[in-house]
Structure 1
């Protein structure tokens, strides 16, 4: 009988605790795949568990992606923020606990998806529902692997539940192989996810979410033709909210611009979160002057990074919410939205060929005009290189704190230039990837199989 391993004794490739408290580990005898996976409800619960795992990833996005970017600058470490400071200042080592926790979290998300894909073929229930559950699991697995490959490069590929012994023989696969796995999972998701769900299931991945994520995967690999083909299927300027602030309205989370978000519910105990980027004194804002000064006075997005009061603290307008009876907040964290799709598509089209007054201009200007900015013409953007720079800058203005900036800089090979002008940090090329946690290196203890990234 195959046991589902919940221990973190040897390696996070197998699993970390279902709780973020790693000390609260259930007995490995408490649950087996043979005894649990019997009905559609059982698989639905397993899929929901995979969704729940990405809730705990939001703070990791902040730490590893936002604090790494030129959106934020930490002046000096305070109690409990040394690891964040090191990430922000490009001084991290393989012992950084935030990096360690992120690696474990993403692989636990993969583990949860694998428990679904491993077992769903053995149980008889409605075939269309089985395909949906498998597609949701594979979408979430792809999302986790996409985060891993962008942050660490080469990575172990684990597509089934494995034993402790098996885990010790799995090395890091080339990034290109990881991307093939991601693409395969997302293609399956595109073909088998529904276009929409009943209202009570809002938040589950749709075929549009799979298309948008696949487009981002292709764009990241510079597969511009493939990216454009996929993104064109989900691009719709009519789905932009007229007022950009309405995208983040907690009273209208299911608005037409949101394609996929990490859901929270502040009215259910344990399903809310704390204030994001809150400060008690706005004079100690971590937002860089580069970001603050990037907006013109008429840009509607400027207010979204302005601090507003929330109780006795201040929070960016983008993340404002009222406190619940459980003393927490319920903003969803938006991973994919229509504005992102349009700007990605504009980028992909321009990279194929610069077309004066073509669709790339139209999609770029859809975002600018929504922000109350004047549309740009070929006179303003005379060639491909200038268009490339304008799109990157527009993304800088559109998506602060949404987990895009650092990864945009890596993709466009602008990280060293922009970080230097943003927070004054001098970075080296090897720092475009994070170090693999030393704890993982030591578990395998075979440098030919499981090696550290260069420079660390």
Structure 2
């Protein structure tokens, strides 16, 4: 942990300043002296969000986000070229020196450390609604970061202090159960402290915390925790969000295409429960969309695109048309994806269409949608059916809202609980295709092996037998070299 801890604890200590939250302090850790005022807390909170969106350095702003999830069946990468680090994840042969895994690891732990700093200090400033909101967002960000870490790495260091000590250089890994206990506690604190509406785009609210807690419970019901009692908790928490969607400002947008216009009009919709916001002109762009998601036939980078089998199984209709990009524009004319360089369809969702359609750029203002209201509906439907063994009318309504928007018929009435839940899992894969959920669904349901057994000839194949050990990423090499406990 020395590499991370030195960055977090030592290099970014600062003195008090008076910045607003929309100014970026680049993830710096604010010292205790600066946290005695509301202005100092606001600056610290901006610093807590920032490591999650630091381009290629840390967080979820680059193709590192897709790389760590490529064991799923909805995304893959180029079979050659310079994509070795991405292929490692897709082929279950991940090296601890892989720089992509360190981007996620570092982003989450820097955010955790900044959140710890706020959590330790916000109560000393006062008890106003604004101060509670800041404290609640810090709890949310710590929970969000640990949720990503525990699902990707399993056993991880659990750090709840912002103060550096030599003991942290020999810290041991904690089991997932301990990590999830903290995540649950943090999200309960977050929902009690935060207001019902977002302070600004990209910020968390009480509804955001409830929605994430529902997802946490759903995950705990599956592998590796396997606590089936969590299904009922997931259903109840998701239902709280659904029943109070107007209070929280959440809802499905009527037209699925409006979520993925490739312009900033899609950045802040009612469906965005939690998203990361970017500003190219401010020096803080997203590098995840644009070139990264475009075919080499159009001078794109071929970082990530869709597996053939997943595309073929995807139900035809307007959602499929919006989700995928299948006709490439080249100097020799248009070509179908089957005749492209990689022989794969790409994601239309992640193209950039400003200032002109198909604009070739590696830096954009487009937000990264980490949790949508559609996911809340599907989490409720699956959890309710698994908890009771029989889907309720409300569960049918939840999933059919998604299917209706996609142009699909309602699910057949009278399905048994398990059959209904399986249908919802399939619906999640289609609705949230490419959106950072499929790998985690396969993992919690222990379907990783099955999902990788039906590869199309042009899809990358696993290089190793898929065992449960390969459900987890290796701890980054530098950290293991410093601390043998890792």
Secondary structure class of the residue paired with 1:233: helix
Q: Match of 2:272?
A: 258
Provide the secondary structure at the position in 1 that maps to 2:294.
Answer: coil
Task: Determine if the alignment matches structure 1 residue 397 to structure 2 residue 430.
Answer: yes
Question: In the alignment, which residue of structure 2 is the partner of 1:383?
Answer: 416
Residue aligning to 1:46: 44
Partner Cα distance (1:33, 1:441) in 2: 28
Q: Cα offset for 1:310?
A: 9.7
Deviates more, 1:235-244 or 1:44-53: 235-244
> Which whole-Å CA distance do the structure 2 matches of 1:329 and 1:310 have between them?
21
1:126 positional shift: 5.4
Query: By how many angstroms is 1:107 displaced?
Result: 0.9
Kept in 2: contact 1:37–1:119 (CA 8 A): yes
1:71 pairs, out of 68, 71, 74, with: 74
Is residue 439 of structure 1 aligned with residue 478 of structure 2?
A: yes
User: Could you report, residue by residue, the CA deviation over 1:59-110 in whole angstroms, capped at 9, with x for unpaired residues?
Assistant: 2321102x2321123342323x211111111111223222233222211111
Q: State the match for 1:212 in structure 2.
A: 211
Distance in 2 (alpha carbons) for counterparts of 1:183 and 1:308: 45
Summarize deviations over 1:410-443 as a string: whole Å, max 9, x none. 0111111012224443422211111122322221
Q: 5+ residue gaps in structure 1?
A: 1-7, 19-24, 452-456
Match 2:468 to one of 421, 425, 429: 429
Distance 1:310 1:251 in 2: 24
Q: Of 247, 252, 261, which residue of structure 1 is paired with 2:259?
A: 247
RMSD between superposed Cα atoms in Å: 3.0
Are the aligned partners of 2:297 and 2:328 in contact in 1 as well (CA < 8 Å)?
Answer: no
Counterpart-to-counterpart distance in 1, 2:44 and 2:330: 37
The corresponding residue for 1:280 is: 296
The answer to whether the Cα contact below 8 Å between 1:343 and 1:363 also exists between their aligned partners in 2 is yes
Aligned partner of 2:109 in structure 1 is 107
Contact 1:156 1:170 in 2 (8 A): yes
Aligned length: 426
Question: Could you tell me how far apart the structure 2 residues matched to 1:391 and 1:362 are?
Answer: 12
| 1:308 Cα deviation from its structure 2 partner | 7.3
Q: How has the CA–CA distance of structure 1 residues 302 and 413 changed in structure 2, closer, same or farther, with 3 Å as cutoff?
A: farther
Structure 1 counterpart SS, 2:96: coil
CA offset at residue 287 of structure 1? 1.6
Contact 1:86 1:92 in 2 (8 A): yes
Equivalent residue number for residue 148 of structure 2: 147
Render the CA deviation track for 1:272-294: whole Å, top value 9, x for unaligned.
43524122317978421112212
Secondary structure of the structure 1 residue equivalent to 2:211: helix
CA contact (8 A) 1:245 1:301 kept: no
What's the offset of the Cα at 1:15? Answer: 3.7
Contact map agreement 1:14 1:167 (CA 8 A) in 2 = no
The question of 1:229 aligning with 2:233 is answered no
Task: Determine the C-alpha separation between the residues in 2 that align with 1:319 and 1:36.
Answer: 39
What secondary structure, in the 3-state scheme, does the structure 1 residue paired with 2:241 have?
coil
Q: Does 1:289 align with 2:308?
A: yes
Distance 1:76 1:327 in 2: 21
Residue 317 of structure 1: how far off its partner (Å): 2.4
Q: Which residue of 1 aligns with 2:338?
A: none
Match of 1:3 in 2: none
Q: CA deviation at 1:373?
A: 0.3
Cα–Cα, structure 1 residues 27 and 39, in superposed 2: closer, same or farther, change >3 Å?
Answer: closer
Report the counterpart of residue 61 of structure 1 in structure 2.
65
Separation (CA, whole Å) in 2 of partners of 1:323 and 1:372: 28
CA distance in 2, matches of 1:441, 1:281: 40
Q: CA deviation at 1:345?
A: 0.5
**Aligned partners of 1:32 and 1:342: how far apart in 2?**
38
TM-score, normalised on structure 2? 0.80
In structure 2, the gaps of 5 or more residues are: 17-28, 222-229, 335-344
Of 423-432 and 315-324, deviating more is 315-324
Cα distance between partner residues in 1 of 2:100 and 2:424: 31
- 1:341-352 equivalent positions in 2, closer than 5 A: 341-352=376-387
Q: 1:127 to 1:302 in 2, by over 3 A?
A: same
- Does structure 1 conserve the Cα–Cα contact (< 8 Å) formed by 2:71 and 2:448? no
